[in-house]
Structure 1
């Protein structure tokens, strides 16, 4: 693809220029891992894009794990020596986690307040994970990019098939999780990538089905391409 990135600045402003990025790491759940897409996941697409615009190789370590919650990622950055070493070597780290903290359950069904009870733990885990990333990478010398979700449950026509109650609850819980991620990014000096807008448009009215794998839960190849483009657009907006 034609890169949307520029070499004149860097995500977050704390790691010099994009030209200085030689390694990036990805953390998170099944979305960055690439579950169900049968494609190159977006972290590798972002790394390839960086390599094109900088003219030098960019090592990409994708340490995302399908099914991971925010607590799992926190444990990983504290105890997984391989992931920790990747972060130490990186000038940029992407993190997308939180959907598995609030999975749809028959116990909570469409009761939004039931899922809201899980948000304080997500907040605590995100804060601790970001602190650990910066500890490993040497303080503010790493650019951290937080990504949110188009939906934390099923999306597009797959959500519609579950009924209007499901659709409304999915939208509300997604708004809660995304708001938490956005606020965390702004408070901690991270870049924030708004995937709900990328997939569903500025008015949250687009049908994102064409960007989803047949399971209705994960992005397909086009979806991963769109995420990589959203990362590039966010970087460009910071220049």
Structure 2
């Protein structure tokens, strides 16, 4: 999502950087290290490697935008979207992934702070509107039980991210609310690329605006 796959546009980190530069009247240099398929464990590993681009850039970054976690559940895609896991069963099916995501998010934040060595830093970590496909694509591909299970999984994933962020004193940025409020009948199709998974240009613009509205906690 962060890399801008499928949108044919400037991804939301670019849009955020331009908007923040204008709002705060300061030059902002943006480095987008988002990669398709990246998991929270892989991000943590890269941040922990002092020689990696991620680690070196984070050391000098005043603002960090983090969107991570959806790819952690790729192995459960079929079980969830076909309705094999329902209600409380969603947590049972993804118990190991949820536990690991919570731990990874906490460690990602701690590693960023370690790299910053006490320097003021704004860390904004987002959730998701859906960890899997949504809108018209999802309705055409999955049974109703699968659609419900996907929403249920998204809710518990967002809660895991939010809880880890809150425990570390970091602002959690909700995307589920803005996406559903922006569209008629909470149908997010108009904010999604043709794959039904990644945001389109309108979706990226909405994410950038949502991040900007959070201000710069920990920095300004």
- Evaluate the alpha carbon distance shift between residue 237 and residue 211 of structure 1 in structure 2; reply closer, same or farther with a 3 A threshold: farther
Deviation at 1:137, TM superposition (A): 1.4
Contact 2:14 2:30 in 1 (8 A): yes
How far residue 139 of structure 1 moved from its aligned partner, in angstroms, is 3.0
Listed as ranges, the gaps of 5+ residues in structure 1 are: 1-30
Alignment of structure 1 residues 28-47 onto 2, 5 Å: 31-47=1-17
Match of residue 181 from structure 1: 161
Note if contact 2:171-2:217 (Cα within 8 Å) is conserved in structure 1: no
* Unpaired stretches in structure 2, ≥5 consecutive residues: none
3-state SS of paired residue (2:130): coil
Match of 1:105 in 2: 77
Residue 85 of structure 1 pairs with residue 56 of structure 2: yes
1:192–1:234 Cα contact (<8 Å) kept? no
What is the DSSP-based 3-state SS (H/G/I as helix, E as strand, rest coil) of the residue aligned with 1:144? Answer: strand
- 2:199 aligns to what SS in structure 1? coil
Paired with 2:54 and 2:216, the residues of 1 have a C-alpha distance of 28
- 1:37–1:219 contact (8 Å) kept in structure 2: yes
Match of 2:38, SS?
coil
Displacement of 1:184: 1.6
Q: How many residues align?
A: 208
Question: Does 2:170 correspond to 1:190?
Answer: yes
TM-score, reference length from structure 2: 0.88
Residues 150-204 of structure 1 deviation map (CA, whole Å, 9 limit, x = unaligned):
00010112222212011101010000000111112221111111100010129x9
Distance 1:208 1:140 in 2: 38
Alignment equivalent of 1:235, drawn from 207, 211, 215: 215
| SS of corresponding position for 2:129 | coil
How far does residue 65 in structure 1 lie from its aligned partner after superposition? Answer: 1.2
Partner Cα distance (1:198, 1:139) in 2: 33
Q: Find runs of 4+ consecutive structure 1 residues off by over 4 angstroms.
A: 236-239
2:196 and 2:190 map into 1 onto residues whose CA distance is 10
CA drift of 1:121 comes to 0.7
Q: Which residue of 2 aligns with 1:14?
A: none
Q: Rate the CA distance shift 1:195–1:51 in 2: closer, same or farther, 3 A.
A: same
In the alignment, which residue of structure 2 is the partner of 1:123?
A: 102
Q: Which of 141, 166, 176 is matched with 2:120 structurally?
A: 141
Pick closer, same or farther for the CA change 1:156–1:107 going to 2, 3 Å.
closer
* Structure 1 residue 234, shift from structure 2 partner: 2.3
CA distance in 2, matches of 1:222, 1:106: 28
Work out whether 1:51 is the aligned partner of 2:21: yes
- 8 Å contact kept, 1:92–1:142: yes
Which structure has greater strand proportion? 1
Matched, 1:213 2:193: yes
Residue in 1 aligned with 2:37? 67
